[in-house]
Amino acid sequence: EPEVTQTPSHQVTQMGQEVILRCVPISNHLYFYWYRQILGQKVEFLVSFYNNEISEKSEIFDDQFSVERPDGSNFTLKIRSTKLEDSAMYFCASSERAGGEAFFGQGTRLTVV
Amino acid sequence: AQSVTQPDIHITVSEGASLELRCNYSYGATPYLFWYVQSPGQGLQLLLKYFSGDTLVQGIKGFEAEFKRSQSSFNLRKPSVHWSDAAEYFCAVAHNQAGTALIFGKGTTLSVSS
């Protein structure tokens, strides 16, 4: 069964460093998303991406964040100058169509120290 | 703005008993509605979805949910809970047009007692 894969599963980084979280969405899906879940809190939408551009973003997704689809399979989230409060589980998801069911990856746990 | 409310933070149910998890949404039109389950340390797995049509939808693992427009609710039910159902359950809503973001509720943690 096709699935969304994320790497790494766990990343530890020092405050102020840049991190890149990687995702391989399901191959025939056209919409890609990043969500985050701070420990013990709800899942929050960050950004959606379609046709090689951002289609929607939340207020969380400020200039510190960027997304890219560098090739036909990968979808990345870059966090510049990480802060302690960026520590969270980051989920990538993809869907065939807008508003359709999203399939989630297993997540990358980011720990900023 | 869209929002999703799951009024119960934590529910404990005896194994074999029935379960109902509540979800209310706020949205101007009929949204797409979802229930996801998250086991500890795992990602989110889709249990079921409602787009249109029959308001009672069946999902995986014996779960079902009923969309009630008049109550803006989409409650999740299971007639007989198994110990393996212990997890966190999230209700989510999406635009039914061009919007793509899922808005999640805060989740309900289900514990199953023997």
Q: What is the pLDDT of residues A38-79, one digit of tens each?
A: 988 889 999 999 989 998 899 999 999 999 998 878 999 999
Taking the C-alpha atoms of residue B60 and residue B92, their distance in angstroms, rounded to an integer, is: 17
Please report, as a single letter, which amino acid is at residue B77: R
* Residue in the block written with tokens 């997540």: A107
Cis before A8? omega within 30: yes
User: Buried (b) or exposed (e) across B68-97, using 16+ Cβ within 10 A?
Assistant: eeeeebbbbebeebeeebbbbbbbbbbbbe
- Give the strand pairing for A108-112 and A10-13: parallel
Count of beta carbons in the 10 Å neighbourhood of residue A16: 10
Instruction: Tell me the CA end-to-end span of chain B in Å, nearest whole number.
Output: 41
Chain A residues with CB-CB distance to B under 8 A?
31, 33, 35, 41-45, 48, 50, 55-56, 58, 91, 93, 95, 98-107
Pick from B32, B43, B106: which is nearest to A91 by CB?
Answer: B43
Res. B97: pLDDT tops 60: no
Res. B113: pLDDT tops 70: yes
Which chain A residue shows the shortest CA-CA distance from B48?
A101
Which chain B residue shows the shortest CA-CA distance from A104?
B44
Res. B95: pLDDT tops 80: no
**Residue B100: pLDDT band by 50, 70, 90 thresholds?**
low
Taking the C-alpha atoms of residue A67 and residue B2, their distance in angstroms, rounded to an integer, is: 24
pLDDT at B96: 58
Pick from A43, A56, A103: which is nearest to B100 by CB?
Answer: A56
Q: Looking at A96-100, B37-41, B108-112, which range is the least confident one? A: A96-100
User: What does the mean pLDDT of chain B come to?
Assistant: 91
Mutate to test the interface with B, among A42, A54, A60, A90 (most CBs of B within 10 A): A42
Residue of A76, A26, A27, A22 whose CA lies nearest to A49: A76
Which chain A residue shows the shortest CA-CA distance from B102?
A45
- Helix ranges (H only) for chain B are none
Count of beta carbons in the 10 Å neighbourhood of residue A58: 17
* Tokens coding B82: 């198994």
Taking the C-alpha atoms of residue A46 and residue A53, their distance in angstroms, rounded to an integer, is: 14
CB contact B36 to A (< 8 Å): yes
B39: helix, coil or strand? coil
